[in-house]
Amino acid sequence: MTKIKLPKKLTPAKIQKSAKAFIMALLRYTLLICLSYLILAPILSNIVTAVTHPADLGLSSSIWVPIRFSSQNLFVSYTILSYEKTLPATLLYTTIVMLLQLVCTLLAGYSFARLKFRGQNILFACVIITILVPSQIIMLPQYLYFNNFTLFGIIPLFTQDGKGLNLLDQPSVVYILSALGMGLKSGLYIYIFRQTFRGLPRELEQAAYVDGAGFVRTFMRIVLPCAGPGLITVGTLSFVWNWNDISFLSWFNPRNATNLMFMYIKRTANMKQALDGISSKVPGGYTFLPDNLLYQNAINKTCALFVLIPLIVLYLIIQRKFVQGVERSGIVG
């Protein structure tokens, strides 16, 4: 005979426990939904605005779902930002800075994690100070230094006027700072790599030394592959922060005309003037309303979407590995 399983008897304690679990789950999901809305609502609003026909902007029936879809706002924003020039130039600049920061902070983080040398604690304290102190505070001394770059008094010995070089108004200054560990958030990246390498078992390196591998070979063949999570974390953070930041460029390369963020801020500061400047490039069949405030606001939102698209694509590609890298690199926990 088949045994019939009777339902377990519900006791007040079990009812109370189930009710508590249900309430906690409800609060958790409510919080997640609210946070997701706060984060995604502006992006979704920009997307809807970008594909809305200019004549339908501001209509109450075309808030989240456009009445008429159109690519006119996309074309105008693309033209305003000179996207075909600024996007490749910004990608190249950001990638170079990211790679320079990766190499410098990787070597520094490994040195602090594995090597023992005199003054190690003092130097690491200086690294922590660079994390705590805002970069804007030390930008003025850096500006003055690169305005008359002497390289410890060596360069004036080989110049005709006996003066240093003026390296301002060119991206080489940012490259030098990134390569020497003084780029944007470099102190934080050194700390992340230090925590990553401290989490690796020393036995791996010791076994490589026993097998006859030297320091460089051990680092390249054993240590570096194991530092993948830290590399992904630092690479992603460096790319995103350098993509969004214009403080270094504002100080050291203010006349940069190919940076996408620079172009976005310049154009959106006076949208009416920007629209008037491209009026000759807009096809005749387009609904072009440069004097309309709603239209100016729509183009502003669409331009912001163009600036954000590369970062969204980057995150979608490395989402899983980035989350794993953050968990393993010592940022949390």
The 10s digit of each residue's pLDDT in 41-92 is 888 889 999 999 998 888 877 778 888 899 999 999 999 999 999 999 999 9
Structure confidence at residue 306 (pLDDT): 94
Same domain, 167 and 147: yes
The domain in which residue 235 lies consists of: 83-253
- Do 305 and 47 meet the contact criterion of CB atoms below 8 Å apart? yes
Q: Output the CA–CA distances (angstroms, integers) from residue 202 to 220, 225, 260, in the order listed.
A: 15, 14, 44
The one-letter code for the residue type at 122 is: I
Q: Output the CA–CA distances (angstroms, integers) from residue 139 to 96, 129, 219, 324, in the order listed.
A: 21, 15, 34, 34
- What is the rounded average pLDDT of the residues 159-184? 83
Same domain, 87 and 59: no
At residue 71, the 3 state secondary structure works out as coil
- The answer as to whether 164 is a domain residue is yes
- The answer as to whether 39 is a domain residue is yes
Same domain, 74 and 88: no
Same domain, 214 and 167: yes
Same domain, 117 and 239: yes
- The answer as to whether 75 is a domain residue is yes
Work out the mean pLDDT of the chain and round it to a whole number: 85
The DSSP H or E segment spanning 89 is helix 83-114
- Look at 30 and 322; give whichever has higher pLDDT: 30
Burial of 316 (0-12, 13-18, 19+ CB in 10 A): exposed
- The answer as to whether 258 is a domain residue is no
Same domain, 90 and 150: yes
- The answer as to whether 36 is a domain residue is yes
Same domain, 156 and 171: yes
Same domain, 181 and 245: yes
Rounded CA separation 219/66 (Å): 56
Report whether pLDDT(3) > 80. no
- The answer as to whether 9 is a domain residue is no
pLDDT band at residue 333, thresholds of 50, 70 and 90? very low
Long-range Cβ contacts of 121-129 (<8 Å, 24+ apart): 124/194, 127/187, 127/190, 127/191, 128/187, 128/191, 129/187
| Structure token pair of residue 274 | 């920007």
Burial of 126 (0-12, 13-18, 19+ CB in 10 A): exposed
Rounded CA separation 317/309 (Å): 12
Same domain, 167 and 281: no
pLDDT band at residue 4, thresholds of 50, 70 and 90? low
Same domain, 51 and 122: no
Least confident of 114-118, 162-166, 188-192, 273-277: 162-166
Q: What's phi and psi for 198, nearest 5 deg?
A: -65, -25
Ranges assigned E (strand) in 85-181 = none
Which residues are registered as beta bridge partners of 165?
149
pLDDT digits (tens, 9 = 90+) for 254-291: 888 889 998 999 888 889 999 998 988 888 888 888 88
- Do 64 and 48 meet the contact criterion of CB atoms below 8 Å apart? yes
- The answer as to whether 2 is a domain residue is no
Structure confidence at residue 256 (pLDDT): 81
Number of domains in the chain: 2
Same domain, 169 and 37: no
The one-letter code for the residue type at 8 is: K
- The answer as to whether 286 is a domain residue is yes
